[in-house]
């Protein structure tokens, strides 16, 4: 068996983007992804005890002054405590002081718990990084040694098998495996990672579910994806939102109003002969001012950001969370967002006189030497739709394989049996037509018509041709299409019910954009968009 490459003077290239189908279905039964998310709620005893010291630290007047309402409560707590201490037998004074201190501590505790949840998420990520043990290969690739994941350097080769945690960011250089990335992406479905192509990148902290892979580390310590996530979680600035600023101003104004009202009560009480103690007046003031809103305002903002973190969505500020609630139009890029970002074989369209099974068999044979994602998708479609067993190059004797190249834009195989040679080719329309013409063959009219029809609906046609004792001829067309992610139409319907308009932005031609937009179910689309067009659309929608 030999391998050779045919050359044509027609330059071009095919997209090599990630396919979605797994090459094998060998996931462990009963697999449940480990999300790595922080559990527990506000009243989790462990979380309350852990956050209590932080709540006490927040009693610093320099911190409390940021919330005028709670600063007044803090001052009232100190005043009532001092007055109760001057008269130890006054149980009423001690009771009021206790309630005021509990109110102040509760406000700080709510905020400390919310902040603590974010820190716990960072601690979980940090633990996943520091506790990981790597199986590093020696330079000759024969011996293994166990080292901490933090000791890995760029260029190190590590081995991961089923059940192992990937110790660092890198690329798979050997093998194929199912990987659980839910701790990083939140996506519960495992993904396939294999050497070569666009599916080789792995992230530290993810879990290998099957098989064995060798990973080449590509990131320095401290610069991995998890390190960046930790820095973002810990450094997320809690900027006050416009509504929060407005509410703070309102609360401060009400506090001043009620403070003046309580101060003026004492002269009237003295005039009426019913002078009130400072403890009673302080208790009245705290009851009048909006204490609850002031106590929970900051905690609510932090809790909103934390709820997103639990779902692996990082909000850099409360302003972003609030702005999300005001969204009326959602602009989406097509590739990788609405679609999977690749072209896959969707159907085989034979010419007159050729059966679909015959075309599928030739398409699969000619794609075995095509290592691009499109080529692999052809093999998968032939196996799934027509029940053709997936063959391998080593199974065919006397076969001369023609690998796909960007120059020829074709792949195929020459099979010699019983003194006869059968040549099968698959590739770009122009390349295959030239190949057939050079060998004296003729192209069926419906092949050209089918290819044009596929192009008009935004697909990519690939021709399949064969040369045997009957001469060179085109067998049919493979329809490649950009695959819309599963469930996108339902999600857009849900957004529509929420009153949110969806607009797809793409650099594709209008025909392709229209086909994808109709399949995905977006409300509108912008085709052939330049960066300036995108910015203009954003400003217009704003």
Dihedrals phi, psi of 38, to nearest 5 degrees: -85, 125
Rounded Cα gap, residues 331 and 505, in angstroms: 7
Burial letters 264-286, b for 16+ CB under 10 A, else e: eeeeeeeeeeeeeeebbbbbebb
* Annotated active-site residue in 90, 333, 414, 523: 333
Three-class SS state of 189: coil
Q: Which of 364, 413, 410 is nearest to 385 (CA)?
A: 364
Q: What is the token pair recorded at 126?
A: 């940090």
Handedness of CA 386, 390, 393, 397 (dihedral sign): negative
364 vs 378: CA distance, rounded Å? 6
Cα 527 to Cα 30, 334, 524, 530, 541: the distances in Å are 44, 10, 10, 9, 17
Phi-psi map region of 471: left, alpha, beta (phi>0 left; psi -120 to 50 alpha): left
**Contact of 443 with 436, CB cutoff 8 Å:** yes
What's the rounded Cα separation, in Å, for the pair 56 and 60?
8
Q: Which residues pair with residue 413 across a beta bridge?
A: 401, 424
What is the rounded distance in angstroms from the CA atom of residue 170 to the CA atom of residue 215? 6
Residues with Cβ within 8 Å of 301's Cβ and at least 6 positions away in sequence, in order, are: 238, 240, 241, 244, 318, 321
Active-site annotation holds for 333: yes
Pairing of strands 339-350, 471-484: antiparallel
Strand order in the sheet with 157-161: 144-148, 133-137, 157-161, 212-217, 170-174, 201-202
Concatenated DSSP letters for 219-247? Answer: S-TT-SHHHHHHHHHHH---PPPHHHHHH
Report the candidate in 278, 295, 294 with the shortest Cα–Cα distance to residue 76: 278
Start-to-end CA span in the chain (Å): 63
Q: 3-state SS of 328-385? A: CEEEEEHHHHHEEEEEEEEEEEECCCCCHHHHHHHHHHHHCCCCCHHHHHHHHHHHHH
Q: Is the dihedral of CA 195, 201, 207, 209 positive or negative?
A: negative
- Residues assigned a catalytic role: 333
């Amino acid at each position: 068996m030999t391998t050779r490459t045919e050359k044509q003077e027609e330059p071009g290239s095919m997209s090599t983007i990630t396919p979605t189908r797994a090459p094998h279905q060998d996931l462990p039964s009963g697999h449940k992804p480990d999300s790595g998310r922080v559990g527990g709620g506000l009243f989790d005893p462990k979380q309350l005890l852990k956050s209590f010291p932080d709540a006490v630290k927040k009693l610093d007047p320099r911190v409390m002054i940021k919330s005028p309402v709670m600063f007044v409560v803090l001052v009232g707590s100190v005043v009532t405590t001092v007055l109760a201490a001057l008269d130890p037998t006054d149980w009423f004074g001690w009771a009021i002081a206790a309630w005021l201190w509990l109110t102040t501590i509760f406000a700080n505790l709510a905020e400390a718990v919310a902040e603590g949840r974010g820190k716990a998420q960072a601690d979980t990520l940090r633990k996943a990084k520091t506790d990981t043990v790597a199986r590093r290969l020696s330079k000759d690739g024969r011996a293994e040694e166990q080292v901490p994941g933090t000791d890995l350097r760029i260029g190190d080769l590590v081995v991961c098998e089923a059940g192992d945690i990937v110790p660092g960011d890198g690329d798979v250089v050997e093998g194929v495996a199912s990987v659980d990335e839910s701790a990083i992406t939140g996506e519960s479905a495992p993904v396939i990672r294999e050497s070569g192509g666009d599916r080789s990148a792995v992230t530290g902290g993810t879990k290998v579910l099957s098989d064995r892979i060798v990973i080449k580390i590509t990131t320095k310590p401290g610069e991995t994806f998890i390190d960046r996530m930790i820095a973002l979680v810990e450094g997320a600035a809690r900027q006050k939102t416009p509504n929060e600023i407005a509410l703070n101003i309102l609360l401060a104004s009400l506090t001043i109003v009620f403070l003046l009202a309580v101060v003026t009560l004492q002269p009237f009480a003295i005039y009426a002969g019913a002078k009130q103690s400072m403890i009673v007046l302080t208790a009245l003031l705290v009851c009048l001012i909006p204490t609850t809103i002031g106590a929970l305002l900051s905690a609510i903002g932090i809790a909103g950001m934390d709820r997103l973190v639990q779902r692996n969505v990082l909000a850099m500020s409360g302003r972003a969370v609030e702005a999300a609630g005001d969204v009326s139009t959602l602009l989406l890029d097509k590739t990788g967002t609405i679609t999977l970002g690749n072209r896959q074989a969707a159907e085989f369209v034979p010419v007159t006189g050729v059966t679909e099974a015959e075309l599928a068999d030739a398409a699969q044979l000619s794609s075995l030497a095509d290592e691009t994602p499109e080529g692999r998708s052809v093999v998968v479609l032939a196996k799934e739709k027509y029940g053709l067993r997936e063959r391998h190059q080593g199974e065919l004797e006397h076969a001369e394989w023609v690998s796909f190249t960007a120059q020829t834009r074709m792949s195929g195989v020459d099979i010699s049996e019983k003194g006869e040679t059968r040549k099968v080719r698959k590739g770009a329309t122009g390349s295959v037509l030239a190949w057939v013409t050079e060998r004296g063959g003729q192209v069926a009219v419906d092949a050209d018509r089918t290819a044009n029809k596929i192009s008009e609906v935004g697909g990519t046609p690939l021709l399949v041709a064969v040369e045997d004792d009957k001469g060179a001829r085109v067998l049919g067309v493979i329809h490649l299409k950009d695959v819309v992610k599963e469930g996108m139409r339902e999600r857009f319907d849900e957004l529509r019910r929420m009153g949110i308009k969806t607009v797809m932005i793409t650099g594709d031609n209008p025909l392709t954009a229209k086909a994808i937009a109709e399949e995905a179910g977006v409300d509108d689309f912008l085709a052939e968009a330049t960066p300036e067009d995108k910015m203009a659309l954003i400003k217009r929608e704003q």
